[in-house]
Structure 1
Amino acid sequence: MDGFQSKLVHGGEPRPRIGGAVVPPIFQSATFEQVPGKGYHDGRYIRLSNTPAHDHLHAKLSIVCGTESALVASSGMAAITSTLLTLLGSGDTVVAQDLLYGGTDSFLSGEVQRWGIGVKRIDVCDPNSWGTPPDGSRVLYCEAITNPTCRIGDFKAATDWAREHGLISVIDATFATPVLFRPVEYGFDLEVHSATKALNGHGDVAAGVIAGRKDLIEQVKHCLDHLGGHLDANACFLLHRGIRTLQLRVDRQCENALQVARFLDGHPGVKVTHYPGLESHPDHQRCQQLFGGRGGGVLSFDVAGGAEEAERIATSTKLMATAPSLGGIETLIIRPASSSHAAVDPDVRVQMGVPDSLVRIACGVEDGFDLVADLVQVMGDRE
């Protein structure tokens, strides 16, 4: 199979088909018969993430991501935290991007440092500012497209720098998805995803993914086994279902996001629109080079009228649901200050480019002109 959509549909599927079922069944069993002569870790058990449901999903994700191995977890944060806790110990340092998802930022600012792990922040968009990492640095951690300002780093330079200094490189590719970006092709050792978002795409399951080098995935799996971050059998089934239509959905979401961003860009009620598909975005050229010019399904904009007006806009749409998350078939609108970055100190939020007046839109697969019309009835037209 050469086509990406064909890999999404057929990659990793069990052959021969189980009982002739075209769609792999739900293996709703927590435990399985032991094979005589085999040890504990050779047996199947749901907490060990090695049931038939997990095996098929891991195989599909490995093919889709183009990696040696893949592993599913109970959420995106389970994927992120288990990965970092596997690779880091007391006295180590993680070199992390300065603009991160609020949950990740909170984890690095809180629990990680209480466990004796240092954090060094860098601007992944500016290689000239990196210098030499602190002694004890073990991991470089960044995001493919930052949430919610949609910045894109210099990833080839980042992985070269990490390799030069002996760091394991990890990237959160949730916003980009494997449709737009495959980190392994740019030298990343591991990638993580909140599969709750676009990989599943239907807003009905929480899941995470870790993909990359086989030796590292095995280590992360051992940690995940102990933390209990396995994915339930029914969630495996739902995630498998969602992955098969990933490209169809992401293509439409990118089209919609660009249409909405073009409407907002230059609107009198908007200070600035953050979307890398726009020529005005500071990372538009990288978007062209890395993602073929498609900026993903998420955009944000700073409302000229301040936080109160931003809240009014985010709660007055009729088609868009006022809700967090992204990557689903329904378009969602929210203020990041009250959702993804609510746990971040307000002053730090502003430094990250996430003021209270910022609104984020995660585009679904509706007709783009209807999404624009929904904003017009709230904000008025451009002229």
Structure 2
Amino acid sequence: MIIACTIFIINTEDHTQINDKLALLEEVKGTSYEFITHLEDDLVKTNEREIEKESEQNLQQKLGNIEVILRDEVKKVSDLTPEEFQGAFYDKHNRNVLNNKEFQGLDPKETIDAFNNLNDKWNAQMDIVKMIHPDMKEPQAYVVWSETNIDHRLMKIKDMDMTLAKANIDSFKTPGYDKTRVNFVVPDENGIHVKRADRIDLGDGMYHNLHDYLKSVQPSLAKYVPQTNNHLKDIYSKEVISTTVERIYKENLYLKHANVKDELAMDVSDSDVQVIEHYAIHHNYLSKGELDSLKSNVYEKFTNDKEQMDTTNIMVHLKGHYEKYQSHLQAENKGELTEEKVVNRMKAENQYTDVKYLALKSNVVDERMIDRMESSIKDCMTNSSTKKEAKEKDSPFQKSPIQQKNIGLSM
């Protein structure tokens, strides 16, 4: 028995050791599989990066002779570092925008046009990047940044002057002014140069056009801008200025008559009124008399609109209280008279009397208007009640029961 027991113990230990070794092998097998899988994934990703890198190098080499403006500097695409190339042409999804289908099959000049016409929001790092035509002969300009919505494309100086003029008019319509910076791209015998213009404050009442602005702050750039303003006459027309002035007058009146006063907004609005009036007179768009006439017309229309609105609001308020009073009155006169019915009717009647008194005191409505409203509601409620009673009377549940005939055989 002792020998048999000993043999049993040895067999059990061997079996346990084998199981442990098998478990270890399974663990090693699983770890090896996981390691190999990660290694394969890393190799695939590395291979993809190498292919992508090679594609980027080929693309950069293909476009190498094109000059670009990057952070106010002119560089050839071939001279950009990989980081600069990525920052200049990668979109928000970390893809090179030049690999998009709209750029496939284009020659260098077509690529330049297509790229410069892109919306400025595509860029991942929000760098303003522009491609330069090799045959650029005339100065051009582009907006580097602005506090207002404006076209950021590279364009001719005259077009930039018009773009800024339109944005200037729009900025008058909102409180304050919009800071904006523009770059000039100037070609000469020594190549392409980027010249930064001083910050422009659109809608501040001082800016009018590029030539006059640059002549006072940067005369060296004023020579690139048309001296006449014929191209701006439709933008700064008398009609446009008048509409802009009217809008500012109207906004100012609404703030003055608002139920909740905003002193800061009121101060800004008063300043906007002064700015636009000075602007219109200084540039001979409107005379003082014309401004006074505009202000008078706006005030008259505002007063009429406000009176009409106040009348509507008061009558709607009165109507609600009168309908409530009449409903309780009908309930009081129908069925059993109770104390609750009387109290509800008296409460509704007193509320309506108070509202009516305040309405008449405001001088916005008169007795005739209220009488017409009361008569209309009474007629409506009476007709409604009559129809309801007629409907109930015609209901089969309200009719007398039909007497049935005895049908059958008598016994």
TM-score (structure 2 length as normaliser): 0.20
Report the structure, 1 or 2, having the larger strand content.
Answer: 1
Higher relative contact order structure (alpha carbons within 8 Å, sequence separation ≥ 6): 1
Report the structure, 1 or 2, having the larger helix content.
Answer: 2
Determine which structure has more spread, i.e. the larger CA radius of gyration. 2
